[in-house]
């Protein structure tokens, strides 16, 4: 059953081929069997079986939606009522959420069955899933390599067929990068398309939830349930949600694809460039026109991002003070001691590093020199994308500079780790939607192709991705040992 798509699973449930209880037990067995991947922080077996029983009743009464009875897993950044929500941190190791995030609520209403909460980089800060308090997640394609981050648990779980699909969040590439390194499909929607209510904040102007699945078709089904305006989220945008599956089979004849020369420079690994060119050639065969574009400010994305994101993180994480919730130090002598030791004990190295960077950038005397300047650069980057998208329909390029690297290979070098997101960060700064799809292998490790669209054109990106997946089978490959 774990080899079936979401559509096939829904058909099997509705035809009585298997029940949601049987399907859920099958995936719970796989999670137990492959626990060494460390993809899950919490497995909600009892809750999952209760939800599956309720889904079977709905199916019997013909009250079904596309996700009714289908198991999925939630990134452990989304608050889940009465279930531990940790953000991959020691700080929230004892936190039981008192409410559901809007994304969780929407998926529950759609009848989906939550298998558990997925491992992630601490507070979504990382590119390898090695900063998690619960240990590194392993990439199922090679368990000595990272799955990417921060949604590494999501990427590994879907790739290893421990869940048919999963939620992720993307602040600087944290859906697309693990999707690429794990050989699955991951979509970062337009900023504001998916509610951030109940999604624990890292950088509020950049964070965005999205679907991670085996294919564009599956991602369309999951996004359909996740997307929509939410009055509880001030950054949610009141734009109608289209039928994301309706346009999947549209022809790509006449599609204009832009290739930024800054993405395909001599800095790009030659094997990566060759693999991506092969994927782009498939689009030529499908009737697309390839046009070179230039976005000269892309080189400023990393320095801009690593001022803005840490600045916002330093503000957001100030709520973790040992008073209201989360880790609290033993026997504080005064308020200052409570704050200092609670945060010192509760936060990991990378989180502390970003808090310090952000606090410095926001401090008196440096705010204009760093934060304001970074926001001006952000506008220039956004303008580059807007100009390019007047010439072409979508932009294509790499997701990552390399395939999955070894566990422990970059963790001691923060700058090297930050460069892992060189091709994804600019899209978050601009607030645009982008999707990563499997496009081949280098030395038996997956490669992802990134497709970037204009605001609120997720259905167009899914169509472009789906048409490629109709003529290739990269997205159908399964890691050895997880068949």
pLDDT above 90 (res 267): no
Percent of the chain with pLDDT over 90: 97
Residue 19: pLDDT above 90? yes
pLDDT in tens, 197-254: 999 999 999 999 999 999 999 999 999 999 999 999 999 999 999 999 999 999 999 9
Neighbours of 431 (CB within 10 A): 20
pLDDT value at 65 more than 90: yes
Q: Has residue 156 got a pLDDT over 90?
A: yes
Instruction: Please answer whether residues 204 and 42 qualify as being in contact, where contact means their C-beta atoms are separated by less than 8 angstroms.
Output: no
Is the model's pLDDT at 265 over the cut of 90?
no
Active-site pick, 25, 75, 138, 188? 75
Q: How is residue 430 written in tokens?
A: 């601009």
Closest listed residue to residue 189, CA positions, set 248, 235, 125: 235
Q: What is the pLDDT of residues 174-199, one digit of tens each?
A: 999 999 999 999 999 999 999 999 99
Could you report how far apart the first and last alpha carbons of the chain are, in Å? 11
Alpha carbon distance 126, 138 (integer Å): 15
What's residue 347's pLDDT?
Answer: 97
Residue 364 above 90 pLDDT? no
Using only C-alpha atoms, the chain has a radius of gyration, in whole angstroms, of 21
Average pLDDT, the chain: 97
DSSP label of 367: I
**pLDDT bracket for residue 107 (50, 70, 90):** very high
Q: Give the whole-angstrom CA distance, residue 29 versus residue 25.
A: 6
| Beta-carbon contacts of residue 423 (< 8 Å; ≥ 6 apart) | 173, 263, 397, 398, 399, 400, 401, 450
Q: Is 132 a catalytic residue?
A: no
Strand pairing class (394-398; 256-260): parallel
The average pLDDT across 60-83 equals 97
Active site includes 256? Answer: no
Please list, in sequence order, all residues whose beta carbon lies within 8 angstroms of the beta carbon of residue 305, skipping any fewer than 6 positions away. 172, 206, 374, 421, 425, 428, 429
Question: Percent of the chain, pLDDT > 70?
Answer: 100
Catalytic residue among 127, 128, 151, 174: 174
Comparing CA positions, the residue from 20, 80, 73 lying closest to residue 43 is 73
Question: Which residue in the list 20, 51, 127, 150 is annotated as catalytic?
Answer: 150
Using one digit for the tens of pLDDT, what is the confidence trace for 408-430? 999 999 889 998 999 999 999 99
- Angle made by CA atoms 90, 357, 200, in degrees to the nearest 5: 40
Of 198, 197, 1, nearest in space to 87 by CA: 198
Sheet architecture: strand order including 40-43: 40-43, 113-118, 71-75, 165-169, 209-213, 185-188, 434-442, 445-452, 394-398, 256-260, 289-293
CA distance 396 to 278: 13
Q: Is 75 a catalytic residue?
A: yes
* 473 phi and psi angles, rounded to 5 deg: -125, 20
Delimit the domains of the chain by residue range. 6-254+434-476
Q: Which helix (H) or strand (E) holds 77?
A: none
What does each C-alpha distance from 356 to 352, 415, 417 come to in angstroms? 6, 15, 18
Tell me the three state secondary structure of residue 39.
Answer: coil
- As a CATH number, domain 6-254+434-476 is 3.90.1300.10
Q: Give, to the nearest 10 degrees, the angle between helix 216-226 and helix 458-471.
A: 160
E strands present in 159-264: 165-169, 185-188, 209-213, 256-260
Contact 149, 186 (CB under 8 A): no
Q: What is the DSSP string of 107-164?
A: HHHTT-EEEEEE--SGGG--SSS-S-TT-PPPBTTBTTB---SSSHHHHHHHHTTSSS
Query: Averaged over 363-372, what is the pLDDT?
Result: 91
């Amino acid at each position: 059953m774990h080899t079936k798509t979401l559509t096939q699973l829904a058909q099997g449930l509705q035809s009585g081929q298997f029940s949601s209880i049987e399907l859920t037990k099958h995936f719970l067995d796989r999670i137990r069997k492959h626990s060494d991947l460390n993809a899950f922080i919490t497995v909600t077996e009892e809750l999952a079986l209760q939800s599956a029983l309720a889904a079977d009743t709905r199916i019997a009464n013909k009250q079904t939606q596309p996700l009714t009875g289908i198991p999925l897993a939630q990134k452990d950044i989304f608050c889940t009522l009465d279930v531990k929500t940790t953000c991959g941190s020691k700080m929230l190791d004892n936190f039981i959420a008192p409410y559901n995030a809007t994304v969780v609520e929407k998926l529950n209403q759609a009848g989906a069955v939550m298998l558990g909460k997925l491992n992630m980089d601490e507070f979504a800060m990382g590119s390898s899933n090695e900063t998690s308090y619960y240990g590194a997640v392993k990439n199922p394609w090679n368990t000595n390599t990272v799955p990417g981050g921060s949604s590494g648990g999501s990427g590994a779980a879907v790739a290893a067929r421990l869940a048919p699909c999963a939620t992720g969040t993307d602040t600087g590439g944290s859906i697309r990068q693990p999707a690429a390194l794990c050989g699955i499909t991951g979509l970062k929607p337009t900023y504001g398309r998916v509610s951030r209510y109940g999604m624990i904040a890292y950088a509020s102007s950049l964070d965005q939830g999205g679907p991670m699945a085996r294919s564009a078709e599956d991602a369309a089904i999951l996004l359909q349930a996740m997307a929509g305006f939410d009055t509880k989220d001030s950054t949610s945008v009141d734009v109608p949600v289209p039928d994301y599956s309706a346009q999947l089979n549209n022809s790509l004849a006449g599609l204009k694809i832009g290739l930024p020369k800054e993405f395909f420079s001599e800095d790009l690994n030659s094997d990566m460039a060759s693999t991506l060119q092969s994927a782009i050639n498939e689009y030529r065969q499908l009737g697309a026109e390839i046009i070179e574009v230039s976005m000269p400010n892309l080189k400023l994305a990393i320095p801009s991002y690593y001022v803005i994101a840490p600045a916002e993180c330093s503000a957001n994480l100030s709520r973790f003070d040992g008073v209201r919730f989360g880790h609290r130090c033993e026997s504080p002598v005064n308020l200052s001691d409570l704050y200092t030791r609670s945060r010192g004990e509760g936060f990991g190295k990378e989180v502390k590093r970003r808090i310090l960077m952000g606090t410095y950038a926001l401090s008196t005397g440096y705010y204009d020199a760093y934060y304001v300047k970074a926001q001006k650069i952000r506008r220039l980057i956004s303008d580059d994308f807007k100009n390019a998208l007047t010439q072409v329909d979508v932009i294509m390029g790499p997701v990552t500079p390399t395939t999955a690297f070894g566990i422990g290979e970059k963790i001691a070098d923060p700058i090297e780790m930050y460069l892992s997101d060189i091709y994804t960060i600019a899209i978050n700064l601009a607030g645009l939607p982008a999707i990563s799809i499997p496009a081949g292998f280098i030395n038996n490790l997956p490669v992802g192709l990134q497709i970037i669209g204009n605001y609120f054109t997720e259905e167009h990106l899914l169509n472009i991705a789906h048409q490629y997946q109709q003529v290739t089978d990269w997205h159908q490959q399964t890691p050895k040992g997880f068949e």
